Structure 1
């Protein structure tokens, strides 16, 4: 079957002339290209639905200007977990200017400047000109608002909190924002109030301090009581909040700073901080020290360093598409812009203490002006609440490998590494064997969500979930294992290999090795099992079979010096004990099957296509390509949007037209209720839907470049009438830079040249 690859592709080894493979190339796309995708508005917004996102990876804000002269932003942080394990906003900050610089009919511009990670608002002209820069320091935990005015103005900065009193979430729709705590038999969900701290001079400090927690009861419900005594509650006494200060403004009220007379320039700094298991006073002392240390640094120098971080980020990798066809120019522009904005939003939220929330990330806003079912909720609302669904959480992270945004993957890996002890205990308690399994839906500390595990346990054995969608759905362990292995293949990070990958993946493999019996042929019989969430009853589901095959095959490639030989023996044995990949036939056409036996359809996924993505068992240049394509063409669910991954799978199969169409649909879709073009969704989840943009990112990358084993496939699903200039990362700490014009490759460079990596170029494109 390898002859198929030879017929479809022309291979180029690293023995070709240095015309294509040489020193690190200079970026062929000037940094100023990002300016084309800046978001610009020429009028103030009506409300928070017209906000722009910004962030430094841990702190996120939504910024908008209103026609009354106010500049407002919501403040969020990745680890602002409440007593109910909801990810809350820290608060809302408003900067008001008098006289109003945003007078109707006057000049106004608000622009997200991508290359600088800065939101600039300009209004008026001549002697009336006002310039406002809002940025979240890429290197420090502070939001800066810098205002300059040609003429003296009066300024006021204030903090607003909507959690001023304890209140019960009783609206059934809003209660879904506390997913897992709602439902039959659940206790009341109470949102506790924030605390405004006094006695800090001209600084305003406010915080949310968790005086109670759901953690202990959550563990007791799941039979994990013994974990409680030796471990610290991650919610109890967690404190998150902010400090607002300004050298040019003085405190004139509990939550207000006002200018000392009229000023021509001023700055407001808002520092955010989270601390676990501590008092409010300890939190405040730490935050005061943080503000003091950062305050001693030059703001001008910090802004230059901030710009350098963002410029380095944009230069790290890029994709820039063009078309000479007038009919395609808007479509292509939106693809370019969508890719840039989604990557920007991941960078704004991907370097914190908790992973990115798929259902809105840090950028949820209130829905007071959102018409329909979700109208009237505060900015803490997000559908599906605080838990992490692996099916949803994973997609932004698969997009980070080719873009080289490796530091943003670490919070996800850390969450799973930190949860390993409780997952090992759960495996032992529930099933009496070693290893670790991870729930599909879990709190950040690693347990089932209460409502999914189930409160009425009379007829359920320990460990069995009431929720049928996830009862035997443990795919997350296998897929994060492959993601960790890919991360290692890209970075060659031996510390990560030793401290995270091997401890986590070894225990996951132990679970799969020990959990099911072998049949008369010595093969594992996966029963009971599921095929993703879609088929609640399955025997020998395809995702498990191809997943274990792929993960163990990649594990066997790890250096002998880094891996215990007994582990390699186990991994090789497991491969030999896998059942055959299930096949079905329909109208004489052979296709992959979701499982050997399957029933109880209850969701809208195509489990059989996991053989293509994420597990890469079938695809361009691999055996049985037509089998995989037949499977794809006959899939049950063909839609795109949200977490649907058909665009990615079309790219892997070399189905150029289909991949381009679905990717374009995603990037050319917007939520008209919101002003910012990348506020995708809500689709299946919430706005901005991080899966929607991430799927399109991954698909676009895989249309250009696919990696597996020691081979790179270049342009495997790329439209000939789209020119492109790109730089993407590949395994071995390398990058590939390529420029295509009119169906010809004008530039192709790979650096550094490590290992035996081979580039295979689609014959559709000439050298």
Structure 2
């Protein structure tokens, strides 16, 4: 069902339980009906589609596609490019290759171009010039598919699979199948991983060939109706006969791709946000993208995120931040929590499997690296092979070496996963690990003269490296010791249960200090200097929940935290939500978007002050932070009391659901910070304690059969629920029966969204220049020519642009520089050009290099009196007349270790 947007506005205005101004009472509406929040799922999800008003010409604009194991980044370079990446090509997670289809250039350059990342279908759909290209990674097979219609049946097409310098693939071209394959041996662990990338086409006259040691090609013609399909199979590969592996990789079975994605979205908890300034819609879009990213990346045997980088969607060849063979637990926990609240906890399976599969390795690690340690200590930083840099008291303290709280967080996440999903198999399998994490803490505690048990010479996250009694550890033990004691009793480990219960009573109190005149929690029991910008004291609020909004100490600690949200890992919005600070929730979410979301595909960076062309990694940690904060602002239950809209921003209207402990889904619609009705779909037998959503007003709880369970004006109400039964909480003065039923609907996004200077989607931009005069042979990263004009980008890896240039250069071919090569002194033929006829070549150099690092090859060029002005520097212009043929230009610098901004090149016909 779809309704016009103005009608929806009226409906949502009425949703607080009062009619809109001038509207009759009967226009009050609710989507809670027949025991669920009713919604047009396809319409709601499509509100968050990523719209391409123009093609994504640059790699950092690439659109992500994936099936949880195989990922792709798709952009418009060279007509059409798709980099393919698996989640398991350890140790460096190298790409399986890049698909390039030059024949789609006319689609991309068409005046009527349009595109969208259609989230509900898990597809990228692009149209233009009478052609359509539909790209997706099959949800049910490790295959990338490109379906094209509207192509010219008489025109021969090519499709290349290629790798880049430094790679050594095996290549194969037999019949209509072309393939690359490479294996990777890890000397440290002895493991062998790898991938095949095999390409075939459903078209006419398909032939395969080997172009060079790094490239294979298909040549074909579209079918008579103008359609063709390219299939790239990318399975895991550990060696063997390549032709057989390639043939098997491209075998197609009936696809359930759309069924899988539609089922996923039907299960995910919906959230529709509207606001007068568009900020609510933008935040909704970011959460929906996070859910999409989890479904597209987290279905393998290991998590897809390393140090917050989701390598599966890389468009940067093999470049990535941080160690791609290792995991920081601190960069996984946000997504685990967000998945639970979004009702998609099954995508936490790779996280649990990764650690549980390596439990015995972690026990051995603890035995050999922690003197006096018993049980299991989980290293904060751990390699895919189970070795780590952490849980080590035999070496000097460092960033992660003595962080102990990763293990308790895993224990708590296992317990929460069980509470949210009822997964007893996971709980039973995990009990030995949970037990041994608790045992490790018992072995690490030291009795003090004060009668307390203390942790000494340990880390408070990465902030303090050698301290005592960090807040995260004290809070963790307060939570997991009773939890594990209960499980131990049920497993017959009564002695351990007794030890844990006794130890809880001997844990020291949290230390406090004064900051800016307020008493606040200290990071730990001592005052070691900070090494990183985390807030260890705030961990007591989330993830551990040992304080709540009623704590004046916690409120003051939040106000005076030393490092307010300066990295993408900061859970500040969730802390604000738990403290009931709705204005702070909104401010922090929007600040995070402004600080971190530099990519138009919704991905982020780790810290502030970054620019998209300069970075090589897509981060998705902030998506987990944002989603968790939103969900906790709408519904909380961490302290045993269900709270509805405890911190929801007053100027964001919302209709949505959140999953809570017990497998219950809580739904509501909020207008001006006030809920309409509250609906609960129970997932288990349970007793719920609900805070009155309308303080001081009489409320009534009824079940789906119409039975009244409770009527009260008290601050809380307690009632028993049963699985597969729904419950309604309503104001007795404004009952559900007074509302008109109106399901939630939505229309597909039609424009790029903006908040401040941040963008979701691709705006139309100048395409790469087509030149019949000059082409770049090397380096490949510079081979997209740019039209020289004011506003043109000067570098492939910076955001600087031209602000003024001589008239003779305007509209001519500009070869951008690579500023990362500014100090390069080799090779002598750094830039190789082919000229089809005589030309004048201009090079614009940074004046800071004169008599310092300018290269000797520049003496072949004549200095002019003109300059090219950019947002970076005014560059001095040199020129040289050259004949047709090959031309080489040297590196930027002539002095090792020196160099400022890289030169840029213009080619003008003579």
TM-score, L = length of structure 2? 0.67
Q: Paired residue for 2:65?
A: 54
Q: Paired residue for 1:6?
A: none
1:678 to 2:687 alignment:
no
Q: Paired residue for 1:687?
A: 617
Q: Paired residue for 2:872?
A: none
The 1:688/1:465 distance shift into structure 2, 3 A limit, reads: farther
Q: Paired residue for 2:12?
A: none
Greater CA drift, 434-443 or 145-154: 145-154
Unmatched tracts of structure 2, length 5 or more: 1-29, 211-215, 698-730, 732-910
Residue 523 of structure 1 is aligned with which of 445, 452, 457? Answer: 452
Q: Paired residue for 1:139?
A: 140
1:118-133 equivalences in 2 (<5 Å)? 118-124=123-129, 129-133=130-134
Unmatched tracts of structure 1, length 5 or more: 1-18, 166-192, 217-232, 368-377, 454-461
The 1:112/1:635 distance shift into structure 2, 3 A limit, reads: same
The 1:150/1:439 distance shift into structure 2, 3 A limit, reads: closer
In 1, the alpha carbon distance for the partners of 2:365 and 2:394 equals 11
1:398 to 2:324 alignment:
no
Residue 337 of structure 1 is aligned with which of 275, 285, 290? Answer: 285
Residue 653 of structure 1 is aligned with which of 579, 591, 595? Answer: 579
Q: Paired residue for 2:792?
A: none
1:446 to 2:386 alignment:
yes
Residue 218 of structure 2 is aligned with which of 257, 267, 287? Answer: 257
Offset at residue 588 of structure 1 (A) = 6.0
Residue 36 of structure 1 is aligned with which of 47, 64, 85? Answer: 47
Helix, strand or coil for the counterpart of 2:114? Answer: strand
Greater CA drift, 25-34 or 536-545: 25-34
In 1, the alpha carbon distance for the partners of 2:76 and 2:547 equals 50
Offset at residue 349 of structure 1 (A) = 0.9
Q: Paired residue for 1:428?
A: 367
Q: Paired residue for 1:107?
A: 112
Helix, strand or coil for the counterpart of 1:530? Answer: strand
Q: Paired residue for 2:16?
A: none
Q: Paired residue for 1:760?
A: 691
In 1, the alpha carbon distance for the partners of 2:134 and 2:627 equals 29
The 1:587/1:688 distance shift into structure 2, 3 A limit, reads: closer
Checking the alignment, whether the CA contact within 8 Å between 1:20 and 1:748 is kept in structure 2 is no
Helix, strand or coil for the counterpart of 1:729? Answer: strand
In 1, the alpha carbon distance for the partners of 2:629 and 2:222 equals 55
Residue 355 of structure 2 is aligned with which of 397, 404, 416? Answer: 416
1:215 to 2:192 alignment:
no
What's the C-alpha RMSD, in Å, of the aligned pairs? Answer: 2.8
1:72 to 2:74 alignment:
no
Greater CA drift, 381-390 or 678-687: 678-687
1:337-416 equivalences in 2 (<5 Å)? 337-357=285-305, 358-363=307-312, 365=314, 378-416=317-355
1:457-468 equivalences in 2 (<5 Å)? 464-465=394-395, 468=398
Checking the alignment, whether the CA contact within 8 Å between 2:460 and 2:524 is kept in structure 1 is yes
Greater CA drift, 146-155 or 658-667: 146-155
Checking the alignment, whether the CA contact within 8 Å between 1:705 and 1:716 is kept in structure 2 is yes
Q: Paired residue for 2:533?
A: 604
Q: Paired residue for 2:260?
A: 309
Q: Paired residue for 1:636?
A: 562
In 2, the alpha carbon distance for the partners of 1:765 and 1:256 equals 72
In 1, the alpha carbon distance for the partners of 2:588 and 2:531 equals 24
| Alignment coverage as a number of residue pairs | 653
The 1:290/1:74 distance shift into structure 2, 3 A limit, reads: closer
Checking the alignment, whether the CA contact within 8 Å between 1:364 and 1:379 is kept in structure 2 is no
In 2, the alpha carbon distance for the partners of 1:519 and 1:559 equals 27
Offset at residue 567 of structure 1 (A) = 4.0
In 2, the alpha carbon distance for the partners of 1:99 and 1:480 equals 48
Helix, strand or coil for the counterpart of 1:209? Answer: strand
Provide, for residues 347-402 of structure 1, a one-character-per-residue CA deviation record: whole Å limited to 9, x for no partner.
211112220224430355456xxxxxxxxxx4433245432112222222221110
1:268 to 2:230 alignment:
yes
In 1, the alpha carbon distance for the partners of 2:104 and 2:581 equals 58
Q: Which has the higher helix share?
A: 1
Q: Paired residue for 2:881?
A: none
Residue 122 of structure 2 is aligned with which of 103, 106, 117? Answer: 117
In 1, the alpha carbon distance for the partners of 2:353 and 2:164 equals 32
Helix, strand or coil for the counterpart of 1:758? Answer: strand
TM-score, L = length of structure 1? 0.79
In 2, the alpha carbon distance for the partners of 1:21 and 1:47 equals 44
In 2, the alpha carbon distance for the partners of 1:99 and 1:595 equals 59
Q: Paired residue for 2:150?
A: 149
Provide, for residues 637-661 of structure 1, a one-character-per-residue CA deviation record: whole Å limited to 9, x for no partner.
1234411221121111111111121
Provide, for residues 319-374 of structure 1, a one-character-per-residue CA deviation record: whole Å limited to 9, x for no partner.
534446x3xx221121111111122122211112220224430355456xxxxxxx
Offset at residue 701 of structure 1 (A) = 0.8
Q: Paired residue for 1:221?
A: none
Checking the alignment, whether the CA contact within 8 Å between 1:537 and 1:600 is kept in structure 2 is no
The 1:286/1:737 distance shift into structure 2, 3 A limit, reads: farther
Offset at residue 559 of structure 1 (A) = 9.3
- Between 1 and 2, higher relative CO (CA 8 Å, sep ≥ 6) is seen in 1
The 1:745/1:559 distance shift into structure 2, 3 A limit, reads: farther
In 2, the alpha carbon distance for the partners of 1:285 and 1:406 equals 37
Checking the alignment, whether the CA contact within 8 Å between 1:62 and 1:74 is kept in structure 2 is yes
Checking the alignment, whether the CA contact within 8 Å between 1:671 and 1:681 is kept in structure 2 is no
The 1:287/1:159 distance shift into structure 2, 3 A limit, reads: closer
Checking the alignment, whether the CA contact within 8 Å between 2:274 and 2:653 is kept in structure 1 is yes
Greater CA drift, 639-648 or 580-589: 580-589
